[in-house]
Homo-oligomer: A and B are copies of this chain.
Amino acid sequence: MKLMQSWVESANSATTDFPLNNLPCGVFSINGEDPRCGMAIGDYILDLTALEAEGILQLGAAALFDVPFWNEVMEAGPAVWADLRAQVTAMLAAGASKRWIVEDHLVAMDSARLHLPLMVAEYTDFYSNRHHATNVSAILHGTKAALPPNWLHMPIAYNGRASSVVVSGSEVRRPWGQIKGAEFDAPIFAPSRRFDFELELAAVIGVASDRPVTVAEADAMIFGYVVLNDWSARDIQAWEYQPLGPFQAKATATTISPWIVMQAALEPFRTVTTAPEMALLPHLCAPGPMLYDIALQVAITPEGGAETVVSRTNYAEMSYASAQQLAHHTTGGCPMSVGDLLGSGTISGPAQDARGCLLELSWGGKEPVAIAGGARRFLEDGDTVTLRGAAQGDGFRIGFGACTGKLIAALADPYAR
Contacts and interface: CB of A to CB of B under 8 A. Distances in A.
Interface in A284-334: 328-329, 331-334
A157 interface: yes
A25 B31 CA distance: 43
A148 interface: yes
A328 B176 CA distance: 11
Interface in A160-216: 160-164, 173, 175-178, 180, 186-189, 211-212, 214
19 contacts: A121-B163, A122-B161, A127-B243, A150-B242, A153-B180, A154-B240, A158-B245, A161-B335, A163-B334, A175-B331, A176-B331, A176-B333, A177-B332, A186-B278, A245-B246, A248-B328, A251-B333, A283-B415, A331-B414
A233 interface: yes
B161 A248 contact: no
Contacts of A227: none
A153 B211 contact: no
Given A150-B242, A281-B189, A415-B283, A163 B335 contact: yes
A236 interface: yes
A242 to B, nearest CB: 5
A388 B277 CA distance: 49
A135 to B, nearest CB: 14
B335 A164 contact: yes
A415 B243 contact: no
Contacts of A414: 211-212, 283, 331
Assembly of this chain: how many copies?
2
Interface in A372-411: 411
Nearest to A121: B163
Given A153-B187, A242-B148, A328-B248, A333 B253 contact: yes
B336 A243 contact: no
A122 B161 CA distance: 8
What bracket does the count of chain A residues touching chain B fall in? 35 or more
A252 interface: yes
A163 B122 contact: yes
A82 to B, nearest CB: 22
A134 interface: no
A281 B162 contact: no
B156 A158 contact: no
Contact of A252 (B214, B246, B334): B334
Given A177-B331, A252-B334, A334-B252, A243 B245 contact: yes
Contact of A159 (B150, B240, B241, B247): B247
Nearest to A155: B247
Contact of A331 (B241, B248, B335): B248
A240 B282 CA distance: 18
Contacts of A180: 150, 153
Contacts of A334: 161, 163-164, 248, 251-252
Contacts of A86: none
Contacts of A189: 281-283, 331
A233 B177 CA distance: 31
A253 B334 CA distance: 7
A5 interface: no
A159 B156 contact: no
A244 interface: yes
